[in-house]
Amino acid sequence: MRTILKQLLVLLFFCSLIYVIVAAVMLALQPPSTGHILDTGKAGNGFTSEPQKIVLDRDPLKTTKPKIIFIGASNTVRGFRPEQFVSYFPGYEIHNMAVSASNLSQTKRIIELAYEVMPKEAQGKSIFVLGLAYMLLMDNKVLWHSQLMDIENEELRFGLYQQKDGSIKPQVPQKYFSYYVKFLQPFFYLNNVTSSFGAKIKYYFEVISRVLLKSKNPAFTPTNDERPVVDEVYKKWALNKWHENMGTEDDTVSEDQFMVLLDIAKLVSEHGGKLIIVDLPLPAWHQESSKHFKDYQFKKKKILSMASSLGNVYYINMQDLNNNVDYIDSAHPSPKATYKWSRWLSQKMSGIVF
């Protein structure tokens, strides 16, 4: 018995030592904390993925101050930078909770997670700004092949949430949630390091392969430093890629996802807040050539009218900001264009916010 106890103590000592070492490395190497702003466009606090930040890094939402929270997909992540809106809306916290490759179902879940931690005093004073484009209307079965959404997968990791009776519920009381996350952060960090290492190996392998094969395939996904040349070859590829991504043979958008937009409007209205639906622009060549965009333009009128009738729901059409030179690919604005977006949108929002 004494031998077993001794072995357990030795095991506990080395586990604790490993924990301390990983925690020290994490504190030394991780990007700086984003502080009082929840921004999926920036890494920080040891959280590297956008879904991970949404689930594990929601402490900035716990204040009683009124908030403006941007939600949507990657064009909202890149297009609406919180620091560019601060001077336009004094007295408001500006957050960006958009997640790349989202649809409206996942966006609705993100709003629910925000309300989960937001004090009631802040809920009625806060505004969600939804960046809407036809890409947000992908069906769940197309985007996740009928499996769990990215946000849901993140919730179920490490036992923080549990799926039961068709819904996902927290297993850790909110008052202890932050402490539990802080304790687990070294494990998150270690997991992220190993995952990113594998992703980088795959990335460099693809780069080397393209160099060796002298590939001119425009299908390479751009990073902040590596962007496609938006020529006719790229445009043709991009339109075909969106046709594949949307998953509809007739190039229509999902009416089921449009109905989720109504659910989002009801959810925000029930909590006493405001919802601003911003109809996002795409480059002119994309708008002119996409059948999905044309179907979206036709179907949105009825749904937007129904959403606006709920009260506290507002619509801003931004689609005219579609100058081709302002885009780095088929959907995302250039860093310079984001300042144009923030100035334009702030002027339109001011009458709603104040």
Q: Is the pLDDT of residue 220 over 50?
A: no
Tens digit of each residue's pLDDT (9 = 90 or more) over 317-332: 999 999 999 999 999 9
Judgement on whether residues 292 and 158 belong to the same structural domain of the protein: no
- pLDDT grade for 107, boundaries at 50, 70 and 90: very high
Per-residue confidence band for 157, with pLDDT thresholds at 50, 70 and 90? confident
Work out the average pLDDT over 136-163.
Answer: 89
- Which residue has better confidence, 81 or 146? 81
Per-residue burial over 335-353, b if 16 or more Cβ lie within 10 Å, else e, is: eebbeebbeebeeebeeeb
How is residue 172 annotated by DSSP?
Answer: S
Establish if 178 belongs to a structural domain.
no
Does 162 have pLDDT greater than 80? yes
Average pLDDT of the chain? 85
Same domain, yes or no: 116 and 220: yes
Q: What is the mean pLDDT of residues 98-108?
A: 96
pLDDT at 167: 86
Lowest mean pLDDT: which of 28-42, 58-72, 83-97?
A: 28-42
CATH number at residue 268: 3.40.50.1110
Q: What does the block give as tokens for 97?
A: 């909770």
306 falls within a domain: yes
Query: What pLDDT, on the 0 to 100 scale, is given for residue 216?
Result: 47
Indicate if 223 and 347 belong to the same structural domain.
yes
199 domain residue, yes or no = no
Phi, psi dihedrals of residue 162, rounded to the nearest 5°: -140, 140
The answer to whether residues 236 and 134 belong to one domain is: yes
Question: Are residues 264 and 298 located together in one domain of the fold?
Answer: yes
CB atoms within 10 A of CB 174: 11
Q: Is residue 94 part of a domain?
A: yes
- Residue-level pLDDT at 35: 60
Which of 70-84, 173-187, 257-271 has the lowest average pLDDT?
A: 173-187
Please tell me the least confidently modeled range out of 26-30, 46-50, 236-240, 340-344: 26-30
154, 258: one domain: no
Asked if 134 and 153 sit in the same domain, the reply is no
Of residues 191 and 135, more confidently modeled: 135
Over residues 259-280, mean pLDDT? 96
* 161 and 251 fall within a common domain: no
Q: Please give the average per-residue pLDDT across 37-59, as a whole number.
A: 82
Would you say residue 322 lies in a domain?
Answer: yes
Lowest mean pLDDT: which of 35-44, 147-156, 266-275, 342-351? 35-44
Q: Give 93's strand partners.
A: 67
274-279 vs 127-132, strand pairing mode: parallel
pLDDT of residue 114: 97
- Do 158 and 271 belong to one domain? no
Residue 98 falls inside a structural domain = yes
Are both 288 and 163 inside the same structural domain? no
Confidence at residue 219, expressed as pLDDT on a 0 to 100 scale: 46
pLDDT score recorded for residue 201: 62
Q: For residue 44, tell me if it sits in a domain.
A: no
Q: Is residue 46 part of a domain?
A: no
Structural domain of residue 147, as residue ranges? 143-171
Q: Is residue 156 domain-shared with residue 288, that is, in the same domain?
A: no
What pLDDT is attached to residue 249?
85
pLDDT value of residue 225? 45
Contact indicator for 94, 35 with CB cutoff of 8 Å = no
Count of domains for the chain: 2
Tell me the pLDDT tens digit for each residue of 113-126. 999 999 999 999 99
d(CA 218, CA 323): 21
Q: Are residues 77 and 96 in the same domain?
A: yes
Q: Give residue 352's pLDDT.
A: 94
Q: How far, in Å, CA of 39 to CA of 81, rounded?
A: 8
* Low-confidence winner among 17-31, 65-79, 301-315 (lowest mean pLDDT): 17-31
pLDDT at 226 over 60: no
pLDDT of residue 317: 97
- Length of the chain counted residue by residue: 354
